[in-house]
Structure 1
Amino acid sequence: MDTNLPASTQPRVVIIGCGFGGLRLAKALRKAPVQVVVIDRNNYHNFQPLLYQVATGALEADSIAYPIRKIFTGQKNFFYRMADVQHISPASNMVHTSVGDIRYDYLVLATGSLTNFFGLESIERNAMQIKSIPNALNLRSFIFQNFEKALLTENPAEKQALMNIVVVGGGPTGVEISGSLAEMRRHVLPKDYPELDLSAMQIFLVEAGPALLGPMSEASQQDALRYMNELGVKVLLNTSIKRFEDCRAYYSDTEFIPSENLVWAAGVNGAEVPGLPAEVVTRNKRISVNQWNRVEGFDNIFAIGDVANMVTEDMPRGMPMLAPVAQQQADHLADNLQRILRGETPVDFKYLNKGSMAIVSRNKAVVDLPKNVHFNGFFGWLTWLFVHLMTLVGFRNKVVALVDWAFSYFSSDQALRLIIRPFSRKDLKDDKGKKSAEHRTATPEYNPTPPAIQTPA
């Protein structure tokens, strides 16, 4: 019982997940009269905004990860257990994990989000995603493995498919990884693969909506599209990828983009935890909470960050799934938990929008600030670098990231083009835990020539 956690007369706050929200909450409770227990399947905090740089070889994986135990060194009321949460039992105040059961007085769900494939099974089986460090390392290996294969094949159509990359989703993640891949095509790949005609390599950014960076300002959307065009990325707006199989990304029943590499960045769902009643889980698997982040129908269960669906008059579809929201909710909940312990009434959460930003490539970024302030270009790029550098956890990570960025900027090179662990699609698993179909063993019947697709104006 309780996985060898020490007995305490203080209330126990169990936090599931050590992302932006869970990390911030656990630190904010360091002086509170509670026992803080964090459960996470990984023993490190993952800085997700920079995953795309790991995937494209700009940063080392350990530059964006930091050990959980080291973060909380010296916090005497903190305890960590590495485990998978299987389900919760609200009636008995218990969390059932892969290493045993953990009792709680207060439970906080900070589980973040998972990739949403919108029920497209062929894409879920075969596409690459970028939600974790293993995802990023797999994507990096897969791309470079396919370039090695392109050197060996004599089939022009197969060579084209091995080099083409399709990124689905025109949000910040899709824009950032597309820009990074375009930079790699321009500065890195010609040095490594002089035998390949890289002018034939095509990068497609596919967005179902009418604009890139949908939640941002119109100025940022237009700037992002212009930057993509300057980098030679083919942007397809108002276009959906319907299925992905046999090295073909179909955007209609018969029309497709020949590609072995499809990166899915088109949407996310909340990472719900089994055990809550169905009525508190919304359509996108987020958990309905009130203005105190308390889960509807429960007195001692809370949710923050991406998994929490807090609806307000200003945001009828819920708070945006952004790191600043999770961090602000964590700070607010830490104060409210202490109010509850003192017998006081909690206060309502109010989100302070500090702006949003997205980087496209070197010297190209867009920034939106409150009161319709917008800027872009080199100053926007510097702003993006500064904010993300300061947000990274750990002094070492800040220094390593800064050095790597400086090296890449002045040398136009990325040194981390390593296939450390070869990756195959047979390693992908579907949601039932079964391995997907084996990767093709013979060249499929490719179209003799890639389809002619024009970038929308």
Structure 2
Amino acid sequence: MLHVKELTLNIPDTTKPRVVIIGGGFGGVNLAKNLSGKEFQVVMFDRQNYHGFWPLLYQVATAGLEPDAIAEPLRKMFDEEYEDFHFRQVKVTGVHPETKTVSTLVGDLPYDFLVIATGTKSNYFGNEQIKQYSFPLKQIPDALNLRSQLLQCFEQANMIKDPEVRQSLLNFVIVGGGPTGVELAGALAEMRKHVLPSDYPGMDFSRMNIYLVEGLDRVLPPMSPESSQTTKEYLEEVGINIKLNTLVESYDGKVVTFKGGEQIKTQTLIWAAGVSGAQIQGLPPEASDRGRYLVNTFNQIIGFPEIFAIGDIAFMKTEKYPRGHPGVAQPAIQQGKHLAKNLRHIIRREPLEPFEYFDKGSLAIIGRNRAVADLPKNKHLKGFIAWMAWLFVHVYYLIGFRNKLVVLTNWLYKFVTYENSTRLIIRPYIRKDDIAGQEFVRKQADLD
């Protein structure tokens, strides 16, 4: 196995302006795709070698889709058609504005223009215990861990003698009433009604409890009050226990404690309560606010005209969006395309164009025929029409024809059969401190 010191970035020298992009998400990909290789050398760094469609992560976690249905290899997306594009799967460790270089685990690289598109990471608000024991849902490995945990809970509940332990296996607490939490709760409710009773005919799934916990006074706080109320009604129809104005104080892997003292015994707490910017070392504290980089209307980080930030990591204050743009895919997509135009303006010594976000609306799905949509001009959809709109939008924005076909086929199959077809425990999830669980897995695999 190679040591890090034996590796090199191996980026060819160039006389063209070099654009270094950190992050292969919606912003970084759309920027790179709109930059001409004849004018720029484009270098992209990311710790993973694929671009993921994160709005569908919850379907991977609930066994509705396989992970490769929502991901596309970055190298496949940038084939020989993209001249002078270079991708390296490596972690960026810092940026150095004074020398205009980026540091990685395998070496440094000079840049002419640097674009930070690193997105967000889970925010545990300083609670290390919750960070250790809860299940985030930000990346594909998170979704696979959660899928294994859910399926293992059902398997163990089917064998356990102790009714109290069985109930803790069948209690699922989702913290965060935003789109991720709402859609995950709806997917679990559909599994409880249509899938699990046939898989485990001896179990009483009326005892399976799904709790959705939100610190504010309504679910889907980013969406309109009308959509929030409709969503709350939909969730109650499918049997979700909603706890509003409720904050989590602690979770030790067995019991979640809320502020006020209420407790729920559960072995699965899913953390969808908040995110913070995935910042990189090297820029001063005054360049950021609330964990995101402060940018002007050209996406330049304040004080650093040759360093840009786009997508969720960028905090662009405008009159219409005083708290920045919503943390969804569209701002990142639009900023990536717009920044490509402005970089061309810079090298041609032309005036820059300010970014203006076009809000195409927001969508959330709660289950079959249950969805809500906030559209421009204060229009709202709900029910079957909103559900169909959600299906169309999510298939449309998937990368690659194969992924679109796979996802659409899976959804059609599920619509007809009510089946979640990927209920496989490929790699058992066992916490590091669960010695008994580790021993059980070893015996199952005959490794002891």
Q: Same fold (TM over 0.5)?
A: yes
> Which residues in structure 2 correspond to 1:339-350 (within 5 Å)?
339-350=345-356
CA distance in 2, matches of 1:439, 1:30: 52
Aligned equivalent of 1:214: 221
> Are 1:380 and 2:374 an aligned pair?
no
SS of alignment partner, residue 13 of structure 1: strand
Sequence identity, in percent? 50
8 Å CA contact 2:8–2:106 kept in 1: the answer is: no
1:139 pairs with 2:146:
yes
Equivalent in the alignment of 2:136 = 129
Moved more, 12-21 or 309-318: 309-318
> What corresponds to 1:233 in structure 2?
240
Name the amino acid aligned to 2:16.
Answer: Q
Cross-structure match for 1:269: 276
Q: 1:289 aligns with which of 282, 289, 295?
A: 295
What is the rounded CA distance, in whole Å, between the counterparts of 1:252 and 1:440 in structure 2? 30
Match for residue 399 of structure 2?
Answer: 393
Letter paired with 2:387: W
Given that residues 15 and 108 in structure 1 are in contact (C-alpha distance below 8 angstroms), is that contact kept between their aligned partners in structure 2? yes
1:108 equivalent in alignment to 2:103 = no
- Equivalent pair of 1:32/1:338 in contact (CA under 8 Å): no
| Structure 1 residue 118 displacement after superposition | 1.1
SS of 2:72's equivalent in the other structure is strand
Query: Which amino acid in structure 2 is aligned with residue 218 of structure 1?
Result: P
Give the equivalent residue in structure 2 for 1:12: 18
Q: Does 1:156 align with 2:163?
A: yes
CA contact (8 A) 2:21 2:114 kept: yes
Number of aligned residue pairs: give it.
Answer: 430
Is the 8 Å Cα contact of residues 15 and 39 (structure 1) preserved in structure 2? yes
Q: 2:180: which partner in 1?
A: 173
Q: Distance in 2 between matches of 1:22 and 1:6?
A: 21
State yes or no: 1:84 paired with 2:79: no
Residues 28-79 of structure 1, C-alpha deviations (whole Å, 9 max, x = no match): 1135600011101111001100000000000111000101011011211211
For residue 255 of structure 2, what is the amino acid of its counterpart?
R
Q: Which amino acid aligns with 1:168?
A: V
Contact 2:38 2:83 in 1 (8 A): no
Matches within 5 A, 1:37-48: 37-48=43-54
Cα RMSD for the two superposed structures: 1.3
Instruction: Give the C-alpha shift of residue 313 in structure 1.
Output: 1.4
Residue in structure 1 matched with residue 197 of structure 2 by the alignment: 190
1:268 is matched by which residue type in structure 2?
Answer: V
Letter in 2 for 1:439: D
Q: Which moved more, 1:249-258 or 1:113-122?
A: 249-258
2:434 to 439, 450, 453: 439
- Indicate whether 1:200 and 2:204 are aligned: no
More displaced, 302-311 or 29-38?
29-38
Does 1:119 pair with 2:114? no
Residue in structure 1 matching 2:100, options 93, 97, 101 = 93
Q: Distance in 1 between matches of 2:395 and 2:364?
A: 14
Q: Equivalent residue for 1:429?
A: none
Q: Is the 8 A contact 1:2 1:102 kept in 2?
A: no
Are residues 1:62 and 2:89 paired?
Answer: no
Q: 1:15 to 1:2 in 2, by over 3 A?
A: farther
Q: Is the 8 A contact 1:63 1:401 kept in 2?
A: yes
Question: Unpaired runs of 5+ in structure 1?
Answer: 427-437, 443-457
The answer for the alignment partner of 1:278 in structure 2 is: 285
Report if the CA contact (8 A) 2:121-2:278 is conserved: yes
Equivalent of 1:406, from 392, 404, 412?
A: 412
Give secondary structure in 2 for the equivalent of 1:170.
coil
Q: Is the 8 A contact 1:2 1:103 kept in 2?
A: no
Deviation at 1:252, TM superposition (A): 3.0
Instruction: Compute the TM-score of the two structures, normalised by the length of structure 2.
Output: 0.94
- 2:341 corresponds in structure 1 to 335
Q: Deviations over 1:123-173 (max 9, x none)?
A: 111000100000000000011112222122211111000111000101000
Aligned to 2:304: 298
Q: Is the Cα–Cα contact under 8 Å of residues 253 and 268 in structure 2 kept in the other structure?
A: no
Distance 1:95 1:180 in 2: 42
Name the residue aligned to 2:441: none
- Distance (Å, rounded) in 1 between the aligned partners of 2:38 and 2:335: 17
Q: Note the C-alpha offset of 1:441.
A: 4.9
One-letter amino acid of the counterpart of residue 234, structure 2: Y
Secondary structure at the counterpart of residue 304 of structure 2? coil
Q: Please, which of 261, 264, 277 is the counterpart of residue 254 of structure 1? A: 261
Q: Deviations over 1:82-127 (max 9, x none)?
A: 1011111111111111222121110000000000111122211100
Residue identity in the other structure for 2:365 = I
Matched-pair contact (CA < 8 Å) for 2:135–2:268 = yes
Q: SS state of the match for residue 238, structure 1?
A: coil
Segment of structure 1 superposing worse, 31-40 or 131-140? 31-40
Equivalent residue letter for 1:158 = V
Distance (whole Å) between structure 2 residues aligned to residue 254 and residue 221 of structure 1: 27
2:34 corresponds to: 28
Pair 1:139–1:246, CA change in 2 (3 A): closer
> Structure 1 runs of 4+ off > 6 angstroms?
none
SS at match of 2:9: helix
SS across alignment from 1:300: strand
